[in-house]
Amino acid sequence: MEFLFKDEHRLFRKTVHEFVDKEIIPQAQAIDESGEFPKELFKKMGAQGFYGLRYPEEYGGANADTFMFAILCEELARGSMAVAASAMMQSLMGTNFIYKFGTDEHRERLLKPAIQGEKMGCFAITEPGAGSDLGAMQTTAVKDGSEWVLNGTKTWITNGPLGDFFTVGAMTDKSKGFKGIDMFLVEAGTEGFTIGKEIHKLGVSGALSTEISFSDCRIPEENLFGEVGQGFENLGSILSEIRVMTGALSIGIARAALEQAFNYAKEREAFGKPIIKFQAIQFKLASMATELEASKLMVYNTAWMLETGQKCTMEAAMAKLFSSEMANRVADEATRVFASYGFSLEFPVQRYFRDARFLLLGGGTSEILHSIISRELNNVKEF
């Protein structure tokens, strides 16, 4: 994998690694236990330039490549999945559409401060009855003169209670199913837009999730992202990137779990010697490390495909599928190395076990990803 990286990538990894060690890891347990969003830490990451990696310098970004963003996601997840999930939302889904399809005024007023960590962007697609099946989306957007009128409910909105602006999917033509979806900009405080109840989760508790709703919510016509009828196509253009970056998050948390298990195995003694001397533990660690290494190769190979403009629908689905499942297996095995202490809140390994479940959901469930891979295999000419 190292053959893909240049000196600038290694230097950036070192910078983020040190930031995580100094600023995130010391707070990770408190963030998990309190369930409170780390506002000051969020701003610090903005000041570091983390949120603008994907964007041009004219908006305060770094114009960095796909590897840089994957490295960021990986390293942040090593420290705290809650922090990493919020940062990925801010850097990708929450701001992508406003950059690509927003007006100059939108980019100046919303994107620039978001890159600095002064405003927060959110992404609202999922509904109570429409997750993987976007064609079942019930939120509608109807044109009324020079305005769009939105009605409906969204759920599982990461950073929702703190969002300043939202990219919202809504049906403009229900007869077309998922191809009738378009994407809109809705700002917090707009009449008819309400932040609903917070969703209390098994893990990733510092990344707040909530419901939002729209009741005759009127927005100006320029808040439509792109042209009518292009919403699903535009959404599809970032799905592979979302899946690759979720794979990078998976690598980060698996690294943390493996490191914890390895160090504990060297310290914990049983029957007169460290448990790492026992083949049963050695084999666990060997399998964990092997799966982690395979995941790195898949994720960064697909990041290279994205960077070089290659179609990678199947490869991105594979990378996300394998990596998210890998992270859950590694976190599970890590708790087994800890034995009863893996069930104790005293050690962070239990947090990795809980937080890793989050990775199975975003970017497509494992079941949906299997379907995508099966479909794409029809286009493979040679194995």
Give pLDDT, residue 340: 96
Classified as helix, coil or strand, 139 is coil
Q: Which CATH number fits domain 122-229: 3.30.160.100, 3.20.20.70, 3.30.70.580, 2.40.110.10?
A: 2.40.110.10
CATH code of 237-379, in short, is: 1.20.140.10
- 2 burial level (CB within 10 Å; 0-12, 13-18, 19+): exposed
Average pLDDT over residues 128-150: 93
Q: Which CATH number fits domain 2-119: 3.20.20.70, 1.10.540.10, 3.30.2130.30, 1.10.3720.10?
A: 1.10.540.10
- 370 burial level (CB within 10 Å; 0-12, 13-18, 19+): middle
- Is 237-379 the same fold as 122-229? no
Confidence grade of residue 134 (pLDDT, cut at 50, 70, 90): confident
Is residue 2 over pLDDT 80?
no
Can you give the residue ranges of every domain in the chain?
2-119, 122-229, 237-379
Which residues neighbour 337 within 8 Å (Cβ) at sequence distance 6 or greater? 261, 264, 265, 275, 281, 284, 285
Confidence grade of residue 61 (pLDDT, cut at 50, 70, 90): very high
Which residues neighbour 36 within 8 Å (Cβ) at sequence distance 6 or greater? 206
Answer yes or no: are the C-beta atoms of 329 and 56 closer than 8 Å.
Answer: no
Give pLDDT, residue 324: 98
Six-digit token pair at 71? 């490295």
Answer yes or no: are the C-beta atoms of 194 and 152 closer than 8 Å.
Answer: no
Tell me the pLDDT of the chain averaged across its residues.
96
Sign of the C-alpha dihedral, residues 274, 277, 281, 284? positive
- 334 burial level (CB within 10 Å; 0-12, 13-18, 19+): buried
For 201-217, write each residue's pLDDT tens digit. Answer: 999 999 999 999 999 99
Is residue 157 over pLDDT 80?
yes
For 244-288, write each residue's pLDDT tens digit. Answer: 999 999 999 999 999 999 999 999 999 999 999 999 999 999 999
CA–CA gap between residue 50 and residue 292 (Å, rounded): 25
Give pLDDT, residue 236: 87
Is residue 1 over pLDDT 70?
no
Give pLDDT, residue 383: 81
Average pLDDT over residues 154-160: 96
For 63-80, write each residue's pLDDT tens digit. Answer: 999 999 999 999 999 999
Confidence grade of residue 130 (pLDDT, cut at 50, 70, 90): confident
Give the residue from 201, 193, 200, 205 showing the smallest Cα distance to 168: 193
